[in-house]
Amino acid sequence: MYRGGIATSRVLRINMTDLSHKWEDVKKEHADLAGRAFTSTVVSEEVDPMCHPLREKNKIVISPGLLAGTMAPSSGRLSVGAKSPLTGGIKEANAGGLTATRLANIGVRGIIIEGMPEGDDWYSIVIGKDKCEIKRTNDYAGIGLYELIKKIWKDYPTKPGIIGAGLAGQRLYKCAGVFGNNIENSDPGRYAGRGGLGAVFGSKRIVAIISDDTGGSRPEAKEKERFDEARKVFVNSLNDHAVTGRLKDKDGNPYGGLKNYGTNILQNILSEAGGLPTRGFSSGRFDKAAKISGEAVHDLVDRTKEKFGDKAEGKYGHACHPGCIMACSNVVPYEKTGKLHVSPLEYESAWALGANLGIGELHDVAELNRLCNDIGLDTIEAGNTIAMFMEAGKIPFGDGKKAIELLKKAYDEKSIEGALVCSGTLTAGEALGVTRIPVVKGQALPAYDPRPIKGIGVTYATTTMGADHTAGYTIAAEILGIKGTVTDPRKIEKAELSQAFQATTAYIDSSGYCLFIAFCVLDDDDGFKAMTDTVDAFLGKAVDVTAYGKKVLKMEREFNKKAGFTEKDDRLPEFFYTEKLPPHNVVFDVPDEELDAVYKNM
């Protein structure tokens, strides 16, 4: 029985072959593991690295972070792990939404889903306090996700967390993300997006996991007084920082960058720096960046509020999960009605579906994002996949209406183009005869060009996750600076920087904290200590951040090695080394020896 606190958490193991489940105690050796550390450990220990990712030997592992459900600020993140259909290696994808908090409140440390059922039926898994039901829900399959989440909340009025697979995942397409509902259940846009993990849900015939925390209670720290003190310090640190801080300053002017402009504050910053990949990584600057930026969304929200008053649904400073005080999410409204168009429109999505495609109309970018949310697609992978159609001359760069028309074909199960646009950048690029395909380990690059920003390129190349900015976000040092000092983005000696960020990120992804706390904790030593103190107080023991993170990385690296990965997979595509990127006219010139050094001393 769950009594609060980490020691009484349990693991739910579900066998989809015989539709059975059982509750297990957390293994002693897993006592300190949650989030990414838990998912990667279970995948490493229980999944054959050589298995087919969409057959019965693969497993889905779900785990709320250590501090999920507690009063720690911005700590309600969820990890989803499996062998990736997109990369063929280990994968963890991270998201906000309701599910991490709901699971933590009923004492669920992790869910392990194995096997696969026979037949054509679809299932949903309903998890509550000390209970689990595997229900046949064919009526949940084959519909858009906006319709699905409303249907589930009607069927389950306790306002549960929901994650699962949309149309793309149900059809086993590699571009499929794991959707999650937002706090209001108005949008399925809280995605554990990367790696094609939605297709793994589809392979298990699972549409949704529904988590109800009725009768649950908030997890408690083992050292409660120390935890509470550290939490208060950390809240103040986050609120005082110019990036993560409060909405307005004492004079009523906009203050916190993330609350006011969301992650998409980076659109203008990266374009100005010449590192915003534009029109399929052919330029580093987009002349329409301002039109699709966080500032543009902020202005749109204000205009619709002024026009429609209380009926306007647009927001900035919107939390992605319960207890998030950074609130970098948003609700983008329709200009003509003020009603919700999509939530959220984040930087990566606005870039992938905007600058990356040469599209500078905010409405078109938001509509592409909404379609991805409804179909069940990772926006980064989807945007890069659409870029392959543009690179191949099938539709022109900059044509938002044609891009929308293409993506809508994904609804049609019989459409070859619809299937291809959901199949990922590498598959689409090769099928269309494209030679400039921006992927590492099969996964598309995110919104920072590695040629003018070398450190993020080192992370893209070497992370265990395929090209993934969140695996080691050196942008914090190379573009935004730490303690007022910017690390030269052109410098090629970035192995040590990338390794440090990758290790710290693995720790943060396990803690339940949002990665964006990094903006604050890297600048503020007191904030960093308060953050680690909350984790240590919760566990009742000291944890070394770097050692914890490196242990996770080494385990993931070993899995990939057993799956057939070598140092040759830790490289960027050829064109990044040979094509100069305007406006700085630079190439990615980090030598292989520097890339290999990231993991050599680990």
Tokens 């920003």 belong to 453
The whole-number pLDDT of residue 92 equals 98
Write the pLDDT tens digit of every residue in 435-488: 999 999 999 999 999 999 999 999 999 999 999 999 999 999 999 999 989 999
Which tokens go with 178?
């794991």
Contact 459, 501 (CB under 8 A): yes
Q: Judge: domain 6-211, CATH 3.60.9.10.
A: yes
CA atoms within 13 A on the CB side of 458: 33
Contact 598, 591 (CB under 8 A): no
- 3-class state of residue 93 by DSSP: strand
Pairwise CA distance, residues 260 & 244, whole Å: 10
Q: Which amino acid makes up residue 514?
A: C
Pairwise CA distance, residues 410 & 423, whole Å: 10
The whole-number pLDDT of residue 602 equals 83
Pairwise CA distance, residues 209 & 214, whole Å: 16
- Confidence tier at 279 by pLDDT (50, 70, 90): very high
pLDDT above 70 covers what percent of the chain?
Answer: 99
User: Is residue 505 pLDDT above 90, yes or no?
Assistant: yes
Pairwise CA distance, residues 48 & 368, whole Å: 36
Contact 64, 544 (CB under 8 A): no
Pairwise CA distance, residues 199 & 577, whole Å: 33
Which tokens go with 517?
């706390």
What b/e string do you get for 50-66 counting C-beta neighbours within 10 Å, with b at 16 or more? eeebbeeebbbbbbbbb
Give a three-class secondary structure readout of 192-231.
ECHHHHHHHHHHCCEEEEEECCCCCCCCCCCCHHHHHHHH
Q: How many CB atoms lie within 10 A of CB 254?
A: 15
Pairwise CA distance, residues 159 & 470, whole Å: 30
Contact 477, 512 (CB under 8 A): no
CA atoms within 13 A on the CB side of 546: 7
pLDDT above 90 covers what percent of the chain?
Answer: 98
Instruction: Give the mean model confidence (pLDDT) for residues 177-197.
Output: 98
Closest CA to 348 of 443, 232, 247, 470: 470
Pairwise CA distance, residues 20 & 397, whole Å: 50
- Confidence tier at 328 by pLDDT (50, 70, 90): very high
Contact 424, 86 (CB under 8 A): yes
Which tokens go with 86?
């997109």
Q: Could you tell me how far CA 508 lies from the centroid of its own chain?
A: 13
Q: Which amino acid makes up residue 315?
A: K
Residue 333: is the preceding peptide bond cis (ω within 30°)? Answer: no
DSSP state of 42: H
- What ranges do the domains of the chain cover? 6-211
First to last CA, the chain: 40
Instruction: Give the mean model confidence (pLDDT) for residues 327-352.
Output: 98
The whole-number pLDDT of residue 47 equals 98
Contact 165, 113 (CB under 8 A): no
- Confidence tier at 7 by pLDDT (50, 70, 90): very low
Which tokens go with 375?
């179909």
Pairing of strands 179-180, 131-136: unpaired
Pairing of strands 20-25, 10-15: antiparallel
Q: Could you tell me how far CA 123 lies from the centroid of its own chain?
A: 25
The helix (H) or strand (E) run that includes residue 113 is strand 108-114
DSSP state of 20: E
Contact 63, 35 (CB under 8 A): yes
Closest CA to 197 of 163, 158, 229: 163
Instruction: Give the mean model confidence (pLDDT) for residues 267-293.
Output: 98
Mean pLDDT score of the chain? 97
* pTM of structure: 0.97
Pairwise CA distance, residues 316 & 298, whole Å: 7
User: What beta strand segments (E) does 286-327 contain?
Assistant: 315-318
The whole-number pLDDT of residue 601 equals 81
485 strand-pairing partners? 482
The whole-number pLDDT of residue 491 equals 96
Pairwise CA distance, residues 85 & 172, whole Å: 9
Q: Which amino acid makes up residue 327?
A: A
Tokens 């200009």 belong to 335
Which tokens go with 585?
């006219």
Q: How many CB atoms lie within 10 A of CB 210?
A: 27
Per DSSP, the residues of 470-481 read GGS-THHHHTS-
- Angle (CA) 572 578 584, round 5°: 100
Contact 177, 194 (CB under 8 A): yes
